Chain A
Amino acid sequence: MITELEMGKAESELELGLGLSLGGGTASKIGKSGGVGGSGAWGERGRLLTAKDFPSVGSKRAADSASHAGASPPRSSSQVVGWPPIGSHRMNSLVNNQAAKSAREEEEAGKKKVKDDETKDVTKKANGKVQVGFIKVNMDGVAIGRKVDLNAHSSYENLAQTLEDMFFRNNPGTIGLTGQFTKPLRLLDGSSEFVLTYEDKEGDWMLVGDVPWRMFITSVKRLRVMKTSEANGLAARHQEPNERQRNQPV
């Protein structure tokens, strides 16, 4: 399963689907000296960059790759931030089209093929399908929505961490959280003022975390950090904590 792979590689350089360099703050320097595929200390703080952070990772320059990585393979256009220069609206539409098409193909081809494609997605970033899956995230009480790249996340924990950083770290006044990264994930265990919900392809709003991660990312259309008090209408989560653990991707 995907998370095991990443756990094993916590300290070494990881390359994900997009080949974008991911990691914490200090890792950006590491990122620049990495090879074409990008690198990042994945396990450092369990923190993932979001759409907001991509530009800071910096784009790879011929000089950098050449001098630090030796004979690096030619960059493909999908591995450089902000390249090719296609407007984000158009890019999202293109990606959604591809995603919808491949989702349809996967459904038709059956489960086994789905599994194969998933592993391909992560390990063969150069040949596999590259999808820049930015989806919108809104939070109750915050005027401007944000966007997050689902394909850059591997689990609900990662996603929740990203969202916490996004919304809570910069707005210390709104929530009591201090943004400490070792805290238990508030968004997923229902213990905080907010819960994470999503809208699926059929237009229904559900609580995040009930289905396997893979299924979630193919069906999610957008996210909303909702006040717990308002989330009563959603599929109630009567599960015990250990039951929930079982459902989450291992």
Chain B
Amino acid sequence: MNYFPDEVIEHVFDFVTSQRDRNAISLVCKSWYKIERYSRQRVFIGNCYAINPERLLGRFPCLRSLTLKGKPHFADFNLVPHEWGGFVQPWIEALARSRLGLEELRLKRMVVTDVSLELLSRSFPNFKSLVLVSCEGFTTDGLASIAANCRHLRDLDLQENEIDDHRGQWLSCFPDTCTTLVTLNFACLEGETNLVALERLVARSPNLKSLKLNRAVPLDALARLMVCAPQIVDLGVGSYENDPDSESYLKLQAAIKKCTSLKRLSGFLEASPHCLSAFHPICHNLTSLNLSYAAEIHGSHLIKLIQHCKKLQRLWILDSIGDKGLAVVASTCKELQELRVFPTDLLGGGNTAVTEDGLVAISAGCPKLHSILYFCQQMTNAALITVAKNCPNFIRFRLCILEPNKPDHVTSQPLDEGFGAIVQACKNLRRLSLSGLLTDQVFQYIGMYATQLEMLSIAFAGDTDKGMLYVLNGCKKMRKLEIRDSPFGDTALLADVNKYQTMRSLWMSSCEVTLGGCKRLAQKAPWLNVEIINENDNNRMEENGHEGRQKVDKLYLYRTVVGTRTDAPPFVWIL
């Protein structure tokens, strides 16, 4: 390869798109490192504190697309305090200063402000794509800047963010000359939407493929929008309440029939289910259906809808579907790859909730299933063993039994054997979430069999440090380990400090680790940021010599090449 001029090598590299492969290429020799870094266009940064923007730009000066993740995963469940960090502002400032030709920015669990959005919109003339997932800190004013200033905007995709809706006219801020939109997703906005501006925008966006509306867009507006955009591929319905005999409903029916490219359907944020039949004509094309926010859609209407969806690959649903409904899914959706079943009743005891039977039925009926997230009231080892036999191809297996520490409801045994069967059978398992009553035994199985496991979520499980040690020693590919309310302590934490060099991060909350243990870890591993999060003033971590007994409530550690971060709030103590 060294006999070829650089341009040729670079051209070959263009075909290598995966970040892991490109990282591998850059390690071959100095010359390849150099060529690779100048031609790298997309970079993914899983932890925004592992590196800083200056070093990123130093290595990849021609960056076009950046993905950044901020807060740890457990922030989704309110376990990370509000001001912990993950600010995007310094990144945007640095990128703006460097005059980078940034085109795409994808952020997850970061704090984004209107100031950041404004700066973003003004600093990159070629900016095309903004995807914000689970972010917070901004308002519709920030969206207005993006709309107004990004001349070539292609994607504005807002997924499950906390956005202050000022009910401004952000949609009208898109200039009349803006005709390039491909994705427009504002389903998470809570406020009123300027329907006229929206309809005009959709009408002048011939490339629009993905449109996800918020609950303020009523059915008659939906009808008009679909008439303007029959080319739509991905639709998120906002409000879906209307009279089936009304004129707007008839219009909707007619419009839907013309949307022959429609493949993904979601939303129904407020719905009257008897109007669902309008969608039946296109159901046979659907590959993705997300009704996980549609609390009113269940029972026979839901079943009827699903029976039309024979090509479904992805289904996100509420547990009101029940085991019977899952049996229908199992017999209808033979192409199903990913299933998520979310709970509707957090207290438990709902009649229509799903049980282990639903899970078994799905595993038996859907041979292509590889990803599952399943919230349920009860589980048995026998069911899990059957599931493992039926579906050895799981890549992601996340089971959440709603009641912590709940054993096998038939045998009252821990669920070690069931999960053990899963990890033994599913040789490609990359992500696993455990629940129910579990002893150290399940971790022994995981350490032994889950060789490809990259992310493990543990809650209310295990008996001793041995449990955690099995995992740290056995799972060579572990990247993210998050543990809460489990009796793992300093011994496990400190057993193999170098292990954390191979991992992105470790989270431990309400475990048995002590301040002394964390300090020892920080001393041994200067390349780690060991963060103690302690919001309770009176529980302040003090240097009082009792560190060996002082339990740490929340520990978050991650490898980094740029040392201690400077933006941590006072209740985060970085050792």
Query: A: which residues have CB within 8 A of B?
Result: 24-26, 28-29, 51-56, 58-63, 74-78, 80-90, 93-94, 97-98, 101, 130, 136, 138, 143-146, 203
Contacts and interface: CB of A to CB of B under 8 A. Distances in A.
A52 B346 contact: no
B346 A77 contact: yes
A130 B346 contact: yes
B545 to A, nearest CB: 19
Contacts of B164: 136, 138, 145
B405 to A, nearest CB: 6
Interface in B447-491: 457, 459-460, 484-485, 487
B15 interface: no
Contacts of B151: none
Contact of B160 (A51, A55, A59, A90): A90
Chain A at the B interface: SS class? loop
Interface in B91-132: 111, 113-115
A195 to B, nearest CB: 19
A56 B188 contact: no
A84 B539 contact: no
A84 B400 contact: yes
Contacts of A51: 78, 82
B111 A55 contact: no
Contacts of B82: 51-52, 144, 146
Interface in B493-533: 509-510
B293 A93 contact: yes
Contacts of A75: 403-405
Given A85-B459, A90-B293, 7 more contacts: A25-B536, A61-B485, A74-B405, A77-B348, A90-B292, A90-B342, A144-B137
Interface in B72-95: 74, 76-83
5 contacts: A25-B536, A59-B510, A62-B405, A77-B348, A143-B113
Contacts of A138: 164
Contacts of B554: 55
Contacts of B534: 56
A76 B347 contact: yes
Contacts of A56: 81, 534-536, 539, 553
The 5 A-B pairs of least Cβ separation, nearest first, read A25-B538, A82-B77, A89-B160, A56-B536, A77-B402
A84 B343 contact: yes
A89 B192 CA distance: 18
B77 A87 contact: yes
Interface of B: 74, 76-83, 111, 113-115, 134, 136-137, 160-162, 164, 188, 192, 269, 292-293, 295, 342-344, 346-348, 375, 400, 402-406, 433, 457, 459-460, 484-485, 487, 509-510, 534-539, 553-554
A85 B536 contact: no
A144 B111 contact: yes
Nearest to B511: A61
Nearest to A130: B347
B405 A89 contact: no
Given A61-B485, A89-B134, A82 B535 contact: no
Nearest to B571: A56
B406 A74 contact: yes
Contact of A87 (B160, B406, B460): B160
A151 B538 CA distance: 25
A86 B342 contact: yes
Which of A52, A85, A93, A130 has the most C-beta atoms of chain B within 10 angstroms of its own C-beta?
A85
Given A61-B460, A89-B162, A90-B342, A82 B293 contact: no
A54 B78 contact: yes
B342 A82 contact: no
A77 B403 CA distance: 5
Contacts of B459: 83, 85
Given A52-B535, A76-B348, A80-B404, A88 B137 contact: no
A62 B405 CA distance: 8
B404 A143 contact: no
B269 to A, nearest CB: 8
A63 B487 contact: yes
Given A25-B539, A63-B487, A97-B295, A55 B343 contact: no
B111 A89 contact: no
Contacts of A78: 346-347
A58 B510 contact: yes
A144 B164 CA distance: 9
A56 B536 CA distance: 6
B293 to A, nearest CB: 6
B479 to A, nearest CB: 19
A20 B502 CA distance: 37
Which of A28, A82, A144 has the most C-beta atoms of chain B within 10 angstroms of its own C-beta?
A82
Nearest to A92: B162
Nearest to A97: B295
A82 B402 contact: no
A51 B162 CA distance: 14
Which of A62, A83, A130 has the most C-beta atoms of chain B within 10 angstroms of its own C-beta?
A83
Contacts of B536: 25, 28, 53, 56
Contacts of B400: 84-85
Given A81-B78, A87-B77, A94 B402 contact: no
A122 to B, nearest CB: 16
Contacts of A89: 134, 160-162, 188
Nearest to B536: A56
B74 A82 contact: yes
Contacts of B80: 55
Contacts of B537: 25
A28 B74 contact: no
A133 B164 CA distance: 17
A83 B405 CA distance: 12
B539 A94 contact: no
Contacts of B114: 143
Which of B114, B115, B188, B460 has the most C-beta atoms of chain A within 10 angstroms of its own C-beta?
B460
Nearest to B113: A143
Contacts of B76: 85, 87-88
Nearest to A24: B538
B135 to A, nearest CB: 11
Contact of A81 (B79, B292, B295): B79
A128 B406 CA distance: 22
Contacts of A77: 346-348, 402-404
Nearest to B533: A55
Contacts of B136: 144
Which of A24, A60, A77, A203 has the most C-beta atoms of chain B within 10 angstroms of its own C-beta?
A77
A60 B79 CA distance: 14
A76 B403 CA distance: 6
A38 to B, nearest CB: 14
A157 B364 CA distance: 56
Contacts of B346: 77-78, 84, 94, 130
Nearest to A89: B160
A87 B292 CA distance: 12
Nearest to A143: B113
A9 B144 CA distance: 50
A83 B78 contact: no
Contacts of A136: 162, 164
